[in-house]
Each structure stands twice: as C-alpha cells, then as structure tokens.
Amino acid sequence: MEILEYLLMVLTPTNLMWLTIGSLVGAFLGALPGMNADTGIAMFLPLTFNMDPLTGLLTLCAIYTSASYGGNITGVLLNTPGTPEAMYMAWDGYPMTVRGEGAKAIGVTTIAAFFAGVVGALALLFLSPFIARFALKFGPMEMFLTTMLGLTIVIGLSKGSMLKGCLSACLGLLCAMIGTDDFIGVSRFDFGLKELYDGLPLLPTVLGLFAVSQLLIMVAEKKGTVVCKNNAMAGSPFLSLVEMGKLAWVTVRSSIIGTIVGIIPAASTSVAVGISYGISKREDKDPDSFGNGNPKGLATASAAHSAITGGSLVPLLTLAIPGNATAALFLGGLTIHGLAPGTKLFTTDGHIVYPMMIGLVLAQFFILFIGLFGAKYFCKVTKVPTNVLIPIVGCLSVLGAYVFRYQSFDMILVLVCGLIGYYMICTGIPPAPFVLAFVLGARAETSWRRMATLTGGSESFLHMMLKPVPLILLALNLLFLISPFWKDIKGLFGKRAQEVQ
C-alpha cells in the first residue's frame, strides 16, 4: 500500500511536468557531443534549489537517466556518440544504420535500455533499505573507512595518472575544509573573504568544473556540427515479439551484470559492457558478427550501460559513496535539499526518497517514449551550431551559480573553477577525485575527529580497528589502491624469484 502512496506522490502534474522536462533536456544534452549527464545535472542543480525536494530530485533522476540514453541515439545513427560511454552502442548500432536498419537499431537500444533501467531502478528500490540498515551499525571508524573507500576506489581506477588522481583528491579535501570548522566554530582557509565563511559553495564549484570547463574545451577544439542523414531512421523502431524474444536473454543478463557493477563504487561502464559483451559474444553461434551490426551486441551494450544508473545510486544513498562522478553531483542535489545519505534517508526522509526511486522507474518510460517516437528529432540536435550553444551554456552557468546563494562572488567563482577544470582536463589531472573528495571531505574529517575523540589512545584505537567490518574496509581500501599496480608488483616478484634461482 505504501508503494501505491509513493506512486501517487510522484504522479502529480508538477512532478510529471518536471520529469518530462528533465527527460527531454537530458536526452538533448546526451545526444550533443561534448555534453553529458554531468553537465546536465550541474546545470539543473540551481534550478532545483527552489523546488520541492521530491520534484527537484525527480528532475535530476530524469536528466541522469535520459542523458545516459541520449548519447545512444547519435552513437547509433551517426557514429558520433554524444557521451563517451555511448561508443559501445556505436560498435553494433552504426553498422546496422549503414545497412539501412537505423530505425531497428534505435528500437533495440531503446528497449534494452528501458528494461535494464527498470531493473537497476528496482534494485535501488529494494536493496537500498537493507544496506542502509546495515550501515546503521557503522561507528566513526567504519564511517571514516567507508568515506576513504569512496576516494581510494576513484583514485585507484585513475591508474594512468594515479599520482595526479591523488593530488586532485588532496586538493578536493583541502577545499572541503574551507569555511567554519563544524566542531569548534573556528573559521579556516577563508582568506578573509566573508563569502567563504560557510565554505566553498558546492554548486558554483561543480558547475565551473563540469559545465564551464566543457564549453571551454568545445571552444578550443572548435567542435562543429554533425549532420544526420535523412534516411538514417528509415523504417520502424518497433520490434516484433519474435525479435524481442531473440534479444531477451542477453538483455536480462546484461541488466543484472550492469546493476551489480553499478553498485560497486567507481566501477565504470567499460567494466559492465566489457563483461556482458564478452559473455554474449562467446555464447553466440556467430561471434564474429559482434561489432559488425549484431542486434544482440547492441542490446548487450545498451542494457549493461543503462542498468548502471540505478545501481550507482545504491552506494550513494546508503553509504554516501558516489558510484561515479555523476552520482557525486547527485549527492550535491541531496545536500542542497537538506538530505543526508544513510539510514535517516530511508526513515525520516523516506517520504521523499522512496517516491524518488519510484520516479526513477517511471523515468525509464520516458526513455521508451523518446526513443521510439522522438529519436529522429533528437538526431537533429547535432545541427545546433556550437557557436550558438556555447554562449547559452555560459549564460546559464553564470546564472546557475548566482541563484545558489544570490551572491555575485559565485558568478566569478564559476569562471575560476571553469578555467581550473579546463587546465585539469588538458594536463591529465582527473577532476572526478577532486569532486568526490570535495563532497566527501567534510564527512571524512568529521568521522576522523569523532574517532579520535572516542579512542584517545592506541589501545582503544586498536579495539575499534580490530573488528570484522573495519578490517574488511581497510583491506578494501588497500586493495583498490594497490590493484592497478598488481601486475607490476607480480612482475617484480617474479623477476626477483628468477634472479634468486
């Protein structure tokens, strides 16, 4: 009965309107090369500030879902993925378009994405309360190690520039400490600026790092427009029951894999698609057709990719560990509306978060509608010239920064963060660890200081540490930090062993 109640809370005219707007905007941004869910959520966060918390979060859910899908359209029809992850859909989708099956390809990717999105959203709805109850038993030690786990995973997965990933995270932690010390009310690192007494504002910072930096890159790279061929969508995107039946098993399996991978913090789309695609290809009667326009390949990639959306919100809502950078921005959305991840979210704030999760299920239906009826129109969004888009994004970013606290300082801050973000991207410094550290930093320090207050000496520290959960968390932290170098370490020991012999 409660689910029915929560469903009715979602089905109000206002919420449905913003779900529609969020879905259309998200699909538009996802379809545009250079834009993605991060940009969409960063730009819409200020808009949600004055909304009812549920409406605001539903809007963000819609953007997250449809932006992830939007890139599939241009990837499949134009071989120009709107988002980096959509390139997996282009592997088999674009060859289908080339041989005149563009509409069918859109049908395959849409239905697979819809099904997988529902699976991911249902996993979020039913798993999260259990994990949150488990997290209730966490003390300061466990909270600190969990927060650190979120950071070490992201750092560990930026192997090629792990040093820079660590430095990026350190900078994020320092920025998180700007403002008033929550424990004793002392102002730190505000450099005498009253605008920083309450800390570096989240919204202008992420808006600058994601939206403004992205438009600077578009300007620098002089991205032009891509034209959608008139016959790219010839035919019908609606699949017959027989066609759906052939794709059913790969879609179901890939949905489950994508959901599980999404739940693992910082595990990427590449991992989910890689595993699913590899299994599907191995099992198929004609494995060589994968990558050459096999609908099963497209369905596999689409399902694995879409299921991650719901899965990535599980660790976020329960343990405050964002599954990826987009989820970190989502955490910003929760914070803006006074919601904190954890058990309280599912008890005191359950009247907001449960409808939100049901809304995420509903958002998948919008994808179905957009894909089956609107793909040929979204394909044409690439005709929007970048010399029109860039100034508009700039304007909305500046305005979005202003409406957070109604301070002109934030409009300057967004530009400074934009320049810093541009520099970071150009010099191989990953911005994701900075954002995660910035979002998690306060929590990390709070739990560290609570832990320090409670222990007060090495004996009690060891007493807190030598328990199953802290030990497991510590082991996971070390695992994720060391795992990128595991092959190098094995090679080193192997070499040493050979030398000894």
Partner 1 sequence: MINEEKKGNTFHWDYITIGFFYLAAIIFLYQTFNLQQMESRIFPYIVLSLAIILNTVLLVKSIKTSPDKREQYSFEGGNRALYITAALLIYVIAIGFIGFYIATPVYLYLTMFMLGQRKQKVLIPVALITTLFVYVVFDLVLSMPIPGGMLF
Which residues contact partner 1 (rule: CB under 8 A)?
Answer: 47, 49-51, 163-164, 166-167, 170-171, 173-174, 177, 181, 183-184, 186, 188-189, 191, 212, 215-217, 219-222, 385-388, 390-392, 394-396, 398-399, 402-403, 406, 408, 411-412, 415, 418-419, 422, 425-429, 444-445, 448-449, 452
By three-state DSSP, how is residue 187 classified?
A: strand
* Smallest distance, partner 1 to C-beta of residue 336, A: 13
Question: What is the smallest separation between the CB atom of 251 and partner 1, expressed in angstroms?
Answer: 36
CA-to-CA distance for 400 and 241, rounded, in angstroms? 46
Q: Is the Cβ of residue 240 or residue 408 nearer to partner 1 in the bound state?
A: 408
For 59, half-sphere exposure in the C-beta direction (CA atoms, 13 angstrom radius) is 25
Q: Least separation, in Å, of the C-beta of 384 and partner 1?
A: 10
Q: Are 458 and 246 in contact (CB under 8 A)?
A: no
Query: Whose Cβ is closer to partner 1: residue 131's or residue 162's?
Result: 162
Give the DSSP letter of residue 380: G
Q: What is the closest distance, in whole angstroms, from the C-beta atom of residue 182 to partner 1 in the complex?
A: 10
Query: Measured between alpha carbons, how far is residue 16 from residues 35, 225, 465 in Å?
Result: 24, 32, 48
At closest approach, how far in Å is the CB of 22 from partner 1? 13
| Structure token digits, residue 300 | 């596999």
Q: Rank residues 291 and 391 by Cβ distance to partner 1 and give the closer one.
A: 391
Task: Phi first, then psi: give them for residue 188, nearest 5 degrees.
Answer: -125, 140
Of 164 and 344, CB closest to partner 1: 164
Q: Which residue has tokens 């790279």?
A: 221
How far is it, in rounded angstroms, from Cα 408 to Cα 405?
Answer: 9
Measured distance CA(305)–CA(309) in Å, rounded: 8
Whole-number Å distance between alpha carbons of 32 and 386: 10
106's tokens: 């859109």
Residues 6 or more apart whose CB falls under 8 angstroms from that of 406 comprise: none
CA-wise closest residue to 442 among 208, 188, 152: 188
* Shortest distance in whole angstroms from residue 171 CB to partner 1: 7
- Cβ of residue 216: shortest distance to partner 1, in angstroms? 4
Nearer to partner 1, 214 or 300 (CB): 214
Which of 58, 361 has the CB closer to partner 1?
Answer: 58
What minimum distance in Å lies between the beta carbon of 398 and partner 1? 6
Q: Tell me how far, at minimum, the Cβ of 109 lies from partner 1, in Å.
A: 29
- Which residue number, 357 or 420, has a Cβ lying nearer to partner 1? 420
Q: Which is nearer to partner 1, 32 or 121 (CB)?
A: 32
- Strand-pairing partners, residue 179, are 188
Q: Are 82 and 68 spatial neighbours (Cβ–Cβ below 8 Å)?
A: no
Dump the DSSP string for 206-256: HIIIIIIHHHHHHHHHT----PPPTTTT-S--PPPHHHHHHHHHHHHHHHH
The sign of the CA dihedral 49, 54, 55, 59 is: positive
Nearer Cβ to partner 1, position 29 or 299? 29
DSSP 182-195: TTT--EES-TT-GG
Fill in the amino acid letter for 290. Answer: F
Q: Which is nearer to partner 1, 7 or 399 (CB)?
A: 399
E strand or H helix at 188, and its extent?
A: strand 187-188
Residue 128 Cβ vs partner 1, minimum distance, rounded to whole Å: 30
The nearer residue to partner 1, 208 or 323, going by C-beta atoms, is: 208
Q: Which 3 state secondary structure label does DSSP give 266? A: coil
> CB of residue 442 vs partner 1: minimum separation in angstroms?
10
Please name the residues in contact with 440: beta carbons below 8 A apart, sequence gap of 6 or more. 147, 150, 151, 176, 320, 321
